[in-house]
Chains A and B, each alone.
Chain A
Amino acid sequence: MDRKILDGGDIKRILVRMAHEVIEVNRGAKDVVVIGIRTRGVYLAQRLAKIMEEIEGVQIPVGSLDINLYRDDFQTRAEQPVVGRTEIPFDVLEKIVILVDDVLFSGRTVRAALDEIIDFGRPKAIQLAVLVDRGHRELPIRADYIGKRLSTSRHQEVIVKVREEDGVDEVILSEGVEA
């Protein structure tokens, strides 16, 4: 049984709230850059940055990150995932990087993303923003900005759809398949 957790309006409100939180915590948007994790994190990052730009009236650089080359499950996979492009067309040195992903689960993707960003330079700080935190962390990683906390069981699936990729904005909790 699939359950809709968030609709388009919810997502919009969450991003506006997050934008305000980021600006509040960092006392403005100076030195803030936003990097989204491929694929859906990138669209969320772009939207978040746009809202912050509107609030603060400054330009906020946005990058995208493909973490496949930094994954830790390489030895156990049967086939390699397709590698997308990483585009960080700005210097991260001494910047406050807002790392954006759709769902925070085991924390392994974020771990890979942290390593990858640091290979681009040494930021002043990295803060994590996620649309959904569904728990079940396997690493000591937490988000700084959370859209929605969801308690889930491991076999359930959280499906995030964004209109740029899927034509619709929504978050679905699916029962998935019992492993």
Chain B
Amino acid sequence: MKAEAQLLVKGGRVVDPASGLDQVADLLISEGKIERISEPGSELRAERVIPAQGKLVVPGLIDIHTHLREPGREDEETILSGSQAAVAGGFTAVACMANTQPPIDSQEGVRFVLERGREAFCRIYPIAAVTKGLRGEELTEVADLVRAGAVALSDDGNPVSSSQLMRRALEYSKAFGVSIISHCEDRDLSSGGVINESFTSTLLGLGGIPSLSEEVMVARDIQLAQFTGGRLHLAHLSTAGSLELVREAKGKGVRVTAEVTPHHLILSDEQIRASFDPNLKVNPPLREREDVDALREGLADGTIDCIVTDHAPHSSEEKDVEFDAAPFGIIGLETSLGLILTELYHKGLLDLKPIISLMSTNPARILGLPGGDLRPGGPADVTIIDLEKEWEVEPARFKSKSRNTPFGGWRLKGKAVVTIVGGRIVYQEGV
């Protein structure tokens, strides 16, 4: 992990959606920054050369929705272990949510995360709480939080149930240029629910979470964003109805962005029917096939701005129990890229450039983070991907401290093989 003064990534197919670049080229990194991109076979020299023939060289992937559990649940994940999982999955930066124990709702909290982040394998960006203690009652001190380094505000895990408070948050945060990331869930409508309310919940007798509980909040937040002019980012959308609302809002010029997770893009609630597998328990819940199709369409037409993992680690003592008793959440840092490449790229549903936009360029833009492109002079955060590499998801070998994935045993095609953060090789396949 020693930083080389100079690093040459040679002969890879360089794809940078920000500049529109997509060609075989050599990429020279110097002093932690992108120095230059040149025609292949150029005379560039460096202390260390990474041969990338046949590989994809892209701006480092950025995940703006993770739960790293530190402070409070270091048995499930730490900022260090989470970052190790991140770089193994090709991510060079992650933003972590505020619902730790205690929540990140003060400058001290933000500084703690940043400090831990300095020892991490990738860049760590704290997201601070919208309300004190995530209680949904009083706004946090936004100015202080932003000054300390918070990149966005979110009560994720909880909605901001009070419309009044959400209005104030969107208004107030405008002064500091940060987004409010909204976990859209009407807790009255979702009460008692553990899976999507559908024919599946009817058959299984499990409590249903209706699509409606997400959609009424998406509709509310869009209205509030339109009214206040605040910056709204909608977390983990899961229903066709939500997509329709966002599409319409964007058409009207509302400042709203939206994200989806790989699991909502791939799995539907029927999977629970055969298994009652608590690893399929997640919030928002896995929806129906038509919702999955609508989300995929939203990726293609730009309604969805980015793909995030919503990496939510849980200990197996807590997760490996009867379905009702299990906590919500799926981990995703080490499977996200492989899943997207396998299920969307290799199946011909989405091209590489949009995938890189959704997983790097756009997330950086949404939160105003460095990186997300390969612009000379920018930070040398680079991911090298082997599109053809076939591998099996083996939770026992995860770098994450947790194992709660429904994808164990899946055969995937496509994987990050080298991850470079600030010019340092932080992950290299097989090393």
In the complex they form, do A and B come into direct contact, defined as C-beta atoms under 8 angstroms apart?
no
Interface residues of B (CB under 8 A from A): none
